[in-house]
Amino acid sequence: MPVKLRVDPAAVLTAQTVRIVPTSTQIDSRAFDPNDLALVTNAIDRALCTDLSDRFKIVAMNQPADLIVHASVTNIVATNRSAAATSTVASLGGSAALGIPIPRLPIGLGGLAIEAEAVGEDGLQRAAMLWSRGANIITTRARVSAVGDAYSLSSGFATAFSRMLVTGKDPFNRMLAIPSMQRLRASLGGDPKYDACKAFGTAPGIPGIVAARLGLPPAWTDKGVGSTLRGGAAR
């Protein structure tokens, strides 16, 4: 998992408020359905908003903030939908017959690369991360969508970047932490801690977990953005 990062601990630890600029993309949008790309970028924003809410107050796009966070998708490796469908059938059938989880077939795996930064009100960069990860046969469930793996991997980026801002430290040199109650509530489809996060909609919750188990496309259960209009970043 290639990662490069830098963080100014003093600056991020004294910050109290965060504004999230909607995630943009630097890839050829013609390679993917625009709705699928929007689903991935919104999943990144929603996860960032939820995870950062553990310590920061998240404010709306038109409000001042101590830190302004913006991520950009620099690459998506498409998931092979035929391979994903075959993996799902094999996994479900094998699990039912043998009673044990069956690994995904090691073909057609997707990936995701993101760069992100947090800047202060003065415009100076306070933290930055270059992050990329590919799906694996054990922990990434196959989903029959070109962005299935990118969608699934988005939460891993959000967790790492948010932990860096919350702690002011390298997030990969720490033990895994138990999710807070507000994060658990949001992951199950509950309302976010701050109203500003409603701009990114609510997580699919239990239906989303079931859909992932069955290998269904994320779009079947994730309704995307909330009622608040998004602005300030091109898709």
* pLDDT tens-digit series, residues 81-130: 999 999 988 887 766 555 667 888 899 999 999 999 999 999 999 999 99
Half-sphere exposure of 115 (CA within 13 A, CB side): 6
Domain that holds residue 87: 3-220
User: Does residue 12 belong to any structural domain of this protein?
Assistant: yes
Residue 137: the pLDDT is 93
Report the pLDDT value the prediction gives residue 179, as an integer from 0 to 100.
86
Domain membership of residue 161 (yes or no) is yes
Q: What is the pLDDT of residue 232?
A: 38
Q: Which residue stretches of the chain have pLDDT < 50?
A: 227-235
Distance CA 127, CA 64 (A): 18
The string of DSSP codes covering 95-141 is HHHHSS--PPPSSS--EEEEEEEEEETTS-EEEEEEEEEE--TTTS-
Joined tokens for residue 229: 């209009």
Residue 232 included in any domain? no
Answer yes or no: is 190 within a domain: yes
Determine, yes or no, domain membership for 228: no
The structural domain count of the chain equals 1
Domain membership flag for residue 171: yes
Q: Cα(205)–Cα(187) distance, rounded to whole angstroms?
A: 6
Residues 6+ apart with CB under 8 A from 139: none
Residue 97 has what pLDDT?
59
Report the C-alpha gap between 172 and 169 in whole angstroms: 9
234 found inside a domain: no
pLDDT of residue 233: 39
Question: Is residue 163 domain-resident?
Answer: yes
